[in-house]
Chain A
């Protein structure tokens, strides 16, 4: 059931999300200064809308993240620098009812565990949409439903992006390992 928050509690909960918002903003902007601007603008928008905010099932974090994403998206459109478009047909094929299977090879898991340096580069190579889902899932520990709420996308899209991100990372790392003869062909 939605709950209206007292002002002080709203401020406290919102401030507790500063680290998360900054990390996400860093991913979105790739620049500390622009990230700081985005965070401040997000809080400003949140404060303006605070009277209409209702504490729902997922808490305040997805709500703030959604504000940030909308803001960033609007800025991107304004600056004519939209993020790369997703393959919507492909996303639609991966509906929530039919989540894609995860690779079951143990090699990929071992790679993730031992190749941080290469993983950094592989992560940076991911499309921004994938990076966002990966960040919210891995670092912020959001559930798929929370990520879907934060990004305002269907949960199937979250699962698809996460699957493809993992697949892309595994491929990059495997190629590297093969070049370095760390794993069998």
Chain B
């Protein structure tokens, strides 16, 4: 078929002159652009993708429920800290950072980390990491809840940066065997922990400027693990330096 059979350049040019001036209102353009950019959650996926997403969500929900209670089976050998535990530690960290003073133990000097460790350890039944940290100012220690269980919580500050060291009976979380190490990130919080002799020990460090990396948190955890002393319930001061110090 000859598509030019009905062509009429003059008519075409005239209609174009008359009808091509309808400009899109700026607010309509903005709304459409917004609609397109917001669309990833608005059902762009074809039907089969919707089913796939639903299936993934279902599986994820199942795993999330199953994970904390089955961690002892060592299924997650990639050493990801259970998200329920990680989130709870971050919440406790933030809450304690906002307190006027963190639970200072009565009758225990603030610089006597051995005494702090012994006191807290007596209540928890597991060794407690209690030590001075280079470049960090000790801000208090006390028993604090993590996911419904009591933990020993030591808090430190360095300007806007904050750091927690948690010691928690690992039995409360059905964590796997000794020497396993964990890491996680929640927003600007870096978490790094390990299991040793029935206890879960975890560093939570928060730097609003985001300059402390997960690797640096993991390095500090490894330093603490290397200096861990079960007999005295304290850890020797690790030689840890964070970026910016």
Contacts and interface: CB of A to CB of B under 8 A. Distances in A.
A52 B28 CA distance: 26
Contact of B40 (A7, A36, A113): A7
Interface string A136-148: 0111000111000
Contacts of A138: 11-16, 19
Interface string A4-15: 000100110011
Nearest to A144: B3
A91 to B, nearest CB: 15
Contact of B32 (A23, A26, A40): A40
Contacts of A23: 19-20, 22
A47 B45 CA distance: 9
A38 to B, nearest CB: 11
Nearest to B5: A99
Given A40-B35, A51-B45, A116-B17, A22 B22 contact: yes
A123 B25 CA distance: 23
A40 B24 CA distance: 12
Contacts of A144: 1, 3, 6
A68 to B, nearest CB: 13
Contact of B3 (A19, A48, A113, A143): A143
Contacts of A22: 22-24, 28
Contacts of B23: 19, 22
Chain B contact residues: helix, strand, loop or mixed: helix
Contacts, number: 115
B39 A116 contact: no
Nearest to A53: B46
A128 interface: no
A48 B43 contact: yes
B44 A102 contact: no
7 contacts: A19-B24, A23-B20, A48-B42, A50-B44, A113-B13, A135-B19, A139-B15
Interface of B: 1, 3, 5-6, 8, 10-20, 22-25, 28-29, 31-33, 35-37, 39-40, 42-47, 49
Given A18-B24, A119-B14, 13 more contacts: A10-B44, A14-B36, A15-B33, A22-B23, A36-B28, A47-B35, A47-B39, A51-B49, A99-B6, A112-B11, A137-B12, A139-B19, A145-B3
